[in-house]
């Protein structure tokens, strides 16, 4: 028989109650007791503690029936704030979110350095600004979650960041030396997958999120948990080989998937076709919107290669949902139907393939969501998107 002391049981009950309050938005004590199976006395004690801590609040609903007006419980979204950071190449995206996942402030900071120490200083400076700005709330800024475009070890050190050419950097330790805050480091694809799960696909227990925007990376969600693998590098699907002896890849192999299906490879090939060096993604998007035949043909040519990789992913993970994050692919009419036309194997089974509508914000949204989950110490998190305010670019 598994047993636990009173403090452990109390913590588990607290987590269950908070999870249901977050999920329902507003809920009564009676309904909490009904859906959790906890008795009314346990609910009463836990709710009293959460009210005293100002993590939840009460609202008395108006109604016109005879009898007592129901008192509803909801998260006190202004009790604390989290900061999600997407440490992208040449720019850093910051979003402060309240405890319901609503973006309060978003900032994109353009940077012109790859020097590790300089970027650490930029991060420290901006984080301290947010700490000061949010200090009037009950708990202030409680967690910073940073998404890194590269391989992240299980101890949260950065094994390799290909764009910055960083090897074995201990960003978490270096930041915590200068900041009195809980700081976490996570792979950007994992955070993007978490965002899809938390904000859109609440009932999907097996989700794979594939990002085509900078190489190819993937986040894998199983039973609401991020799958990281032994070292923490699970999801580097861009480096599975789809063409033996094919195009050379920076990883040292030939024929890697991202050499044929990622946005950078598509853009590079299109630049060569059009004899326009250094095409940007925004320029490619404009060409597609204008119906440029060469641009459209180049994207169409990539679809069989994207599907080849998807076939491998499906057979490896048997996912319920595959989410593809690519602004370029999203411009192609009936893109999903075209992808599925190449998935003819009777062995490959999945429920749906969808295109992400989170776009470039997936990583930072996932960072905020995972920070909220860590703060509340709940098993699962269901949030809804809202309009963002105070968007800034520097």
Contacts of 164 (CB under 8 A, 6+ apart): 89, 114, 116, 119, 150
Q: What angle do CA 371, 377, 381 make, to 5 degrees?
A: 65
Across the chain, what does the average pLDDT equal? 92
Pick the CATH number of 80-193+380-393 from 3.30.70.20, 3.90.79.10, 3.40.50.2020, 3.30.420.40: 3.30.420.40
Model pLDDT for residues 213-261, shown as the tens digit of each residue: 988 999 999 988 999 998 988 999 999 999 999 999 988 899 999 999 9
Cβ atoms of 85 and 96 within 8 Å: the answer is: no
Task: Tell me the mean pLDDT in the region 316-324.
Answer: 94
Comparing CA positions, the residue from 226, 215, 147 lying closest to residue 193 is 226
Where are the domain boundaries for CATH 1.10.10.10 in the chain? 6-75
- Distance (Å, whole) CA 11 – CA 378: 10
Q: What is the pLDDT of residue 73?
A: 96
Strand partners, 222: 206, 225
For the segment 251-277, the average pLDDT, to the nearest whole number, is 93
Query: What strands, in cross-sheet order, belong to the sheet with 166-169?
Result: 151-152, 158-161, 166-169
H helices of the chain, in order, are 6-24, 29-36, 40-52, 116-133, 171-176, 188-199, 258-261, 263-274, 281-289, 293-317, 327-330, 335-340, 362-376
Closest alpha carbon to 145 in 97, 66, 84: 84
Residue with tokens 């329902």: 24
Give me the helices (H) in 255-292, please: 258-261, 263-274, 281-289
Query: Does the pLDDT value for residue 2 go beyond 60?
Result: no
pLDDT tens profile 347-366: 888 999 999 999 999 999 99
- Which has the closest alpha carbon to 77: 63, 94, 59, 65? 59
Task: Provide the b/e sequence for 56-71 (b: ≥16 CB within 10 Å).
Answer: bbeeeeeeeeeeeebe
Q: pLDDT at position 324, please?
A: 97
Class of CATH domain 6-75: mainly alpha
For the entire predicted model, the pTM comes to 0.91
Could you tell me which residues come within 8 angstroms of residue 199 by beta carbon, excluding any fewer than 6 positions away?
101, 358, 365, 369, 383, 384, 385
- 150 DSSP assignment: S
pLDDT, one tens digit per residue, over 182-216 is: 999 999 999 999 999 999 998 888 999 999 998 89
CATH 3.30.420.40 fits 201-356, yes or no: yes
Tens-digit pLDDT profile for residues 330-341: 999 999 999 999
Q: What is the mean pLDDT of residues 100-112?
A: 95
pLDDT the model gives residue 82: 98
Contact 193, 226 (CB under 8 A): yes
Rounded Cα distance between 111 and 163, Å, is: 13
User: For position 242, what pLDDT does the model report?
Assistant: 92
User: 308: closest CA among 360, 250, 238, 373?
Assistant: 238
Distances in whole angstroms, Cα of residue 272 to Cα of each of 163, 168, 299? 22, 35, 14
Unique residue bearing structure tokens 């999903």: 336
90 pLDDT exceeds 50?
yes
- Residue 387: the pLDDT is 45
- Contact between 143 and 83 (Cβ < 8 Å): yes
**pLDDT for position 297:** 93
What's the DSSP call for residue 361?
Answer: G
Give the pLDDT confidence score for residue 5 in this predicted structure: 75
Q: For residue 4, is pLDDT > 70?
A: no
- In whole angstroms, give the CA distance from residue 255 to residue 253: 7
pLDDT of 22 strictly over 60:
yes
Q: What is the pLDDT of residues 37-83, one digit of tens each?
A: 999 999 999 999 999 999 999 998 765 565 567 799 999 999 999 99
Domain with CATH 3.30.420.40 in the chain: 80-193+380-393, 201-356
């Amino acid at each position: 028989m598994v047993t636990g002391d009173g403090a452990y049981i109390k913590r588990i009950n607290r987590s269950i109650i908070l999870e249901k309050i977050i999920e329902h938005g507003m809920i009564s004590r009676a309904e909490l007791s009904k859906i959790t199976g906890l008795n009314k006395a346990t609910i009463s004690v836990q709710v009293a503690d959460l009210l005293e801590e100002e993590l939840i609040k009460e609202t008395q609903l108006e109604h016109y029936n005879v009898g007592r007006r129901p008192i509803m419980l909801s998260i006190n979204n202004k009790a604390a704030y989290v900061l999600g950071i997407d440490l992208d190449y040449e720019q850093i995206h910051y979003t402060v979110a309240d405890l319901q996942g609503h973006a309060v402030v978003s900032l994109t900071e353009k940077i012109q350095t790859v020097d590790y120490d300089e970027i650490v200083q930029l991060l420290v400076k901006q984080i301290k600004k947010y700490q000061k700005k949010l200090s009037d709330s009950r708990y202030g800024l409680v967690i910073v979650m940073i998404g890194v475009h590269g391989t992240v070890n299980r101890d949260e050190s950065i094994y390799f960041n290909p764009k910055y050419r960083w090897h074995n950097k201990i960003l978490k330790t270096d930041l915590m030396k200068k900041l009195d805050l809980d700081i976490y480091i996570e792979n950007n694809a994992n955070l993007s997958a978490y965002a899809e799960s938390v904000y859109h696909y609440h009932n999907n227990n097996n989700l794979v999120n594939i990002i085509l925007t900078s190489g190819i990376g993937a986040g894998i969600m199983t039973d609401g948990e991020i799958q990281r693998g032994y070292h923490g590098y699970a999801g580097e699907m861009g480096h599975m080989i789809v063409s033996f002896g094919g195009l050379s890849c920076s990883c040292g192999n030939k024929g890697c998937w991202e050499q044929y299906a990622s946005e950078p490879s598509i853009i590079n090939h299109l630049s060569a076709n059009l004899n326009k060096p250094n095409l940007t993604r925004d320029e490619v998007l404009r060409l597609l919107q204008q119906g440029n035949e060469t641009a459209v043909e180049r994207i169409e040519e990539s679809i069989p290669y994207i599907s080849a990789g998807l076939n491998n992913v499906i057979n490896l993970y048997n996912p319920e949902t595959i989410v593809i994050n690519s602004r370029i692919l999203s411009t192609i009419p009936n893109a999903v139907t075209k992808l599925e036309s190449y998935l003819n194997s009777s062995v490959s089974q999945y429920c749906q393939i969808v295109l992400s509508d989170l776009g470039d914000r997936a990583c930072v949204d996932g960072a905020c969501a995972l920070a909220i989950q860590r703060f509340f110490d709940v098993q699962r998190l269901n949030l809804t998107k809202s309009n963002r305010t105070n968007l800034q670019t520097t």
